[in-house]
Amino acid sequence: MGDVILFFVFIISVLLFLILWAVYSYKNDPKKLAQQKAQLEAIERARIEEQRRLEEEQKAIQRENERKEAAKRREEFLSKKHSEFKAVVDNLPLFEIKLSDEKRNRNPEINIVDKECKNITKSTPIKSIKDFIAVDVETTGLKTGGNDIIQLSAVKYKDFSPVEAFNTYIKPRKPIPETATEINGISDDMVEKSPRFYQIIDSFNEFIEDMPLVAHNAPFDIKHLYVNGLDSVENKTVYDTLSLSRRTYKDHYSYKLKDICELNNIYICNAHNALYDSYAAGELFKCIVADRKEIDLENLFVTE
């Protein structure tokens, strides 16, 4: 009986040895070890990649939050600036327009000669430009022939300060095209009870006196004013803030009134409304004068 037990113990021992040897051999097999190492490295790479992905995702969320916060701050800033801009214009005294019954004919487009706009240099006397009229028109189309002025606005400046405004809608000869309304927001209903252009010519001449005219893309405004019957512009001194901006702020990305004004911290509300655009052109003109003459804007009021 004792021999049988010893035999079974021996057999079990041999089996355990073989099992342990097999396990040891399996674990220390070079191919298996390489596979295990590759698996561990793949797991580590996946962990690092996931961590990187989570970090990039977090950064993207942070950037988006910062963008939204910056956009919110800019919106609040612009809202405040637009309100300030609008308040100045809305509080300007309005010139009383007296309508004339004297019929005036439109001038032939063929008689238009490109108006030479004046330059401003360091030697330009301040006294010659401190009083001016900033003007803007909205029209039924870009071409002078066949199109009408449907809003005429101007702001009078004395000593570089706005003191009075002229503003009126004008009834055109034909219905306003939808394309024009989409740009300036002026519809037929808005001008239905407005005067014809010839009826406001005398009042506008009284308002502008003999002062220089300032406009952004002045040739456009001057041509339309002349064709619509305002003969007096032929003899006017004219300053074009568009061409002056191109000389003064070279390589700027845009010379649209809104964009070049923002460069000078002027924030227009209601773009393509002639009254607000004329005030913006006047404020831009002041900045251009200061920059061309290489003096601080504040010193315009005390120079010469």
Give me the percent of the chain exceeding a pLDDT of 90.
Answer: 67
Options 3.40.50.300, 2.40.70.10, 3.20.20.140, 3.30.420.10; CATH of 109-301: 3.30.420.10
The residue among 230, 233, 224 whose CA lies nearest residue 140 is 224
**Any idea which residue has 């049988």 for tokens?**
4
The reported pLDDT for the residue numbered 25 is 61
Q: Where is mean pLDDT largest: 66-75, 111-120, 150-159?
A: 150-159
pLDDT digits 0-9 by tens, 78-107:
899 999 999 999 999 999 999 998 888 898
The reported pLDDT for the residue numbered 41 is 82
Residue 17's pLDDT band (boundaries 50, 70, 90)?
Answer: low
- pLDDT over 60 (residue 125): yes
The reported pLDDT for the residue numbered 26 is 59
Residues in CB range of 202: below 8 A, 6 or more apart? 98, 100, 102
Q: Compute the mean pLDDT over every residue in the chain, rounded to the nearest whole number.
A: 89
Give me the percent of the chain exceeding a pLDDT of 70.
Answer: 89
Residue 303's pLDDT band (boundaries 50, 70, 90)?
Answer: low
Residue 10 vs residues 7, 13, 15, 197, 245: alpha-carbon distances, Å: 5, 5, 9, 124, 106
Range with the lowest mean pLDDT among 143-147, 153-157, 193-197, 265-269? 143-147
The reported pLDDT for the residue numbered 22 is 61
pLDDT digits 0-9 by tens, 212-258:
999 999 999 999 999 999 999 988 999 999 999 999 999 999 999 99
Single-letter code of the amino acid located at 176: I
The reported pLDDT for the residue numbered 38 is 83
Burial of 281 (0-12, 13-18, 19+ CB in 10 A): buried
- Helix 30-90 crosses helix 2-27 at what angle (to 10 degrees)? 40
- pLDDT over 90 (residue 201): yes
The reported pLDDT for the residue numbered 113 is 66
Average pLDDT over residues 161-171: 97
Long-range contacts of 181-189 (CB under 8 A, 24+ apart): 183/272, 184/138, 184/150, 184/151, 184/272, 184/273, 185/272, 185/273, 186/138, 186/150, 186/151
Burial 207-245 (b: 16+ CB within 10 A, else e): bbeebbbbbbbbbbbbbbbbbbbbeebeebbbbbbbbbb
